[in-house]
Amino acid sequence: METKNFKTLTAITSVAIFFCLLNAVWVCVQSYNLYTAENNFLTFEKETRFICSAIFYSRVIFSPLYNALLITFLVKQLVAIKRGILFPRINVRIIFLIAVCYFIGSFATDNQALLHFENNPLMINDGTITYTLLFIIFGIIYKVAVDVAEENNLTV
Amino acid sequence: MPIIVNVDVMLAKRKMTSGELAEKVGITQANLSILKTGKAKAVRFSTLEAICKALECQPGDILEYRE
């Protein structure tokens, strides 16, 4: 890869990593404040409390995990490019994990209102489904790219 | 891989080392090793041409199909 392109990629990746970290920290802080607030979801009725707890812990676990996986993907990509490998195979699995974590984290975020207002209905955003599917499609195409790149490396 | 590249025989006939061949063909010794050990997935015509030119042989002299 050309030095200029690599430098541009590194710069944009650094900005992306920064925002991923920011988002992960924000989710953790927001979740802590919600957990320690008076009259939080833990005071709701038993049935609702179970669903609210599931949503709360899903968001606490999967949203930062999604950001961590994104950062891992970006770092592994940069390191691999520096070593001359355009598409590292390990990133295929990471992309599919990102898709799963994004779906769960995003679904939990979409239903955050339930943690504040007991009678809110469960909802799913079309963006949650669309972007999850896009991640899966990207993962499949990335896998093809990995296979083609590996074959190209074995072309003399 | 059913296609085998028999470079060693021609190297011995021409009294040439792998390193010399790699240099003449313009590929790395690692790539030549990939070719010799049957790990190569494909060979470019330009590479095949360069090998035949360096070893003064025909493609059929170094390529063999074995089921």
Q: For the segment B11-66, what is each residue's pLDDT rounded down to a tens digit?
A: 999 999 999 999 999 999 999 999 988 889 899 999 999 999 999 999 999 999 98
Q: Cβ separation of A156 and B35 shorter than 8 Å?
A: yes
Q: Chain B contacts of A155, Cβ < 8 Å?
A: 40-44
Listed in sequence order, the residues at least 6 apart from A53 whose beta carbon sits closer than 8 Å to its beta carbon are: A41, A42
Residue A130: the pLDDT is 97
Give A98's pLDDT tier (boundaries 50, 70, 90).
Answer: very high
- Would the pLDDT of A11 be above 80? yes
* Cβ <8 Å between A151 and B35: no
* B63 secondary structure, DSSP code: E
Under the banding of pLDDT at 50, 70 and 90, the label for residue A9 is very high
Count the Cβ atoms, other than its own, within 10 Å of residue A1.
11
The predicted pLDDT at position A122 comes to 85
Number of domains in chain A: 1
Best CA proximity match to A59, nearest among A31, A32, A35, A33: A31
Q: Would you state the torsion angle of the CA atoms of residues A46, A49, A50, A51, taken in this order, to the nearest 10 degrees?
A: 130
Cβ-based interface (< 8 Å): residues of B facing A = 27, 31-32, 34-35, 39-44, 47
pLDDT (0 to 100) of residue B18: 92
Verify whether the Cβ–Cβ distance B43 to A155 is below 8 Å: yes
Band the pLDDT of A121: cuts 50, 70, 90.
Answer: confident
pLDDT at A20: 95
Q: How far apart are CA B45 and CA B39, in angstroms?
A: 17
Q: What is the pLDDT of residue B11?
A: 92
Residue A135 has pLDDT above 80, yes or no: yes
DSSP 3-state of A144? helix
With contacts defined as CB-CB under 8 Å, which chain B residues touch A154?
34, 39-42
Q: What are phi and psi of A89, to 5 degrees?
A: -65, -35
Domain ranges, residue A104? 4-155
What's the pLDDT at A126? 93
Distance in Å, alpha carbon of A153 to nearest chain B alpha carbon: 9
The four Cα atoms A79, A82, A86, A92 give a dihedral, to 10 degrees, of 0
Q: How far apart are CA A41 and CA A47, in angstroms?
A: 11
Between the CA atoms of B35, B41, B44 and B48, what dihedral angle is there, to the nearest 10 degrees?
30
Q: How far is it, in rounded angstroms, from Cα B16 to Cα B24? A: 11
Q: Tell me the shortest Cα–Cα distance from A139 to chain B, in angstroms.
A: 24
The DSSP element (H or E) to which A33 belongs, if any, is helix A3-36
- Residues in chain A with CB shorter than 8 Å from the CB of B40 are 154-156
Q: What distance in Å separates the CA atoms of residue A144 and residue A138, rounded to the nearest whole number?
A: 10
State the CB neighbour count (10 A cutoff) for residue A108: 23
Chain A interface with B: residues with Cβ < 8 Å: 151, 154-156
- Chain-chain contact of B47 with A156 (C-beta, under 8 angstroms): yes
Band of pLDDT at residue A78, cut at 50, 70 and 90: very high
Q: What angle do CA A67, A70, A71 make, to 5 degrees?
A: 90
